[in-house]
């Protein structure tokens, strides 16, 4: 078990930490620095990690300081219960003072007793609209987290939330840019092959999208991939069938 002086919790030390968290654009690096800093800064913390859940009890570990954190999350995923699952599903903060006397998760507790955890602090990482993950801190000893460590944990959880939210925002922007590019390609095909103006091509995409009950992005991807207008293809196929039927003796 690590020991730390009160100096490790000084405002200047925390400020230095915050400035160091986002020296690069990589979300994974930022989360790893947060987990490492939890062990360095939070009194009593021997292990830490950040994880996300799939909404059905499954847990995916984004970063961890020691392999036992990954093992712990694997256990929770297998039994679909445990402290990380509870925090991800609605509890904003959870303090497990003595894991050996914990009875809230019977399936989990039966195997968790084999892990070197005595106590835990867990924080839900969330915005006003989304639950993004869980920051978990563990100690070898029971009752290891004094009250003032909650403040440091809150600071770390806020910055872990910021890192995850920024990553999600960038991913959404990339998807939006990709969708816009695909729609632009589909408009270009319609303009070139069917002598449409940009506005006509867009209105045509919208009309076919509504008529076929598919998203504009999906329709645009199909046009970009095949080079064909699905609306005209369907009409041509229908007309061919009608002509074949009419010519049948």
DSSP character string of the chain: -----GGGG-HHHHHHHHHHHTSSS-HHHHHHHHHHHHHHHSTT--EEEEEEE-SSS-EEEEEESSHHHHHHHHHHHHHT-SHHHHHHTT-SEEEES-GGG--S-HHHHHHHTTSS-SEEEEEEEE-SS-EEEEEEEEESSTT---TTHHHHHHHHHHHHHHHHHHHHHHHHHHHHHHHHHHHHHHHHHHHHHH---HHHHHHHHHHHHHHHT--HHHHHHHHHHH-S-HHHHHHHHHHHHHHHHHT--
pLDDT for 168: 57
CA–CA separation, 148 vs 14, rounded Å?
13
Element (H, E) at 193: helix 149-194
pLDDT for 107: 93
Percent of the chain with pLDDT over 70: 75
Q: Is residue 244's pLDDT more than 50? A: no
Q: Is residue 213's pLDDT more than 60? A: yes
Task: Say which range, 44-53, 73-82, 148-157, has the weakest mean pLDDT.
Answer: 148-157
CATH of span 6-169: 3.30.450.40
Q: Give the largest CA-CA distance in the chain.
A: 97
Q: What is the mean pLDDT of the chain?
A: 79
**What CATH topology corresponds to 172-246?**
Arc Repressor Mutant, subunit A (1.10.10)
**Per residue in 57-100, pLDDT tens?**
678 898 999 999 999 999 999 999 999 999 988 889 999 999 99
pLDDT for 174: 58
Is residue 69 a contact partner of residue 55, using CB atoms and an 8 Å limit? no
Parts of the chain belonging to CATH 3.30.450.40: 6-169
pTM for the full model? Answer: 0.65
Q: Which of 96, 149, 157, 150 is nearest to 124 (CA)?
A: 157
Q: Is residue 6's pLDDT more than 50? A: no
Is residue 120 a contact partner of residue 139, using CB atoms and an 8 Å limit? yes
Three-state secondary structure call for residue 4: coil
pLDDT band for 128, please (50, 70, 90 cuts).
Answer: confident
What average pLDDT does the segment 28-32 reach? 82
Parts of the chain belonging to CATH 1.10.10.10: 172-246
Rounded to 10°, the helix 27-41/149-194 angle is 180
**Per residue in 110-127, pLDDT tens?**
899 999 999 999 999 887
Task: Say which range, 50-64, 99-113, 231-245, has the weakest mean pLDDT.
Answer: 231-245
């Amino acid at each position: 078990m690590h020991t730390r002086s009160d100096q490790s919790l000084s405002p200047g030390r925390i400020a230095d930490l915050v400035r160091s968290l986002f020296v690069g654009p990589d979300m994974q690096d930022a989360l790893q620095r947060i987990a490492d800093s939890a062990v360095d800064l939070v009194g009593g913390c021997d292990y830490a990690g950040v994880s996300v859940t799939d909404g059905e009890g499954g847990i995916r570990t984004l970063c961890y300081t020691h392999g036992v954190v990954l093992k712990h999350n694997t256990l929770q995923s297998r039994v679909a219960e445990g402290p990380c699952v509870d925090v991800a599903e609605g509890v904003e903060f959870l303090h497990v003072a003595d894991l050996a006397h914990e009875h809230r998760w019977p399936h989990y507790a039966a195997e968790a007793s084999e892990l070197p955890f005595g106590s835990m602090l867990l924080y839900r990482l969330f915005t006003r609209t989304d639950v993004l993950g869980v920051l978990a801190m563990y100690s070898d000893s029971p009752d290891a987290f004094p009250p003032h460590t909650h403040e440091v944990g809150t600071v770390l959880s806020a910055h872990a939330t910021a890192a995850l939210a920024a990553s999600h925002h960038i991913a959404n922007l990339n998807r939006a840019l990709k969708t816009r590019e695909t729609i632009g390609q589909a408009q270009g095909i319609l303009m070139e092959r069917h002598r449409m103006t940009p506005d006509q091509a867009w209105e045509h995409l919208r009309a076919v999208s509504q008529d076929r009950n598919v998203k504009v992005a999906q329709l645009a991807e199909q046009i970009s991939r095949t080079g064909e207008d699905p609306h005209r293809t369907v009409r041509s196929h229908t007309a061919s069938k009608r002509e074949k039927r009419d010519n049948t003796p």
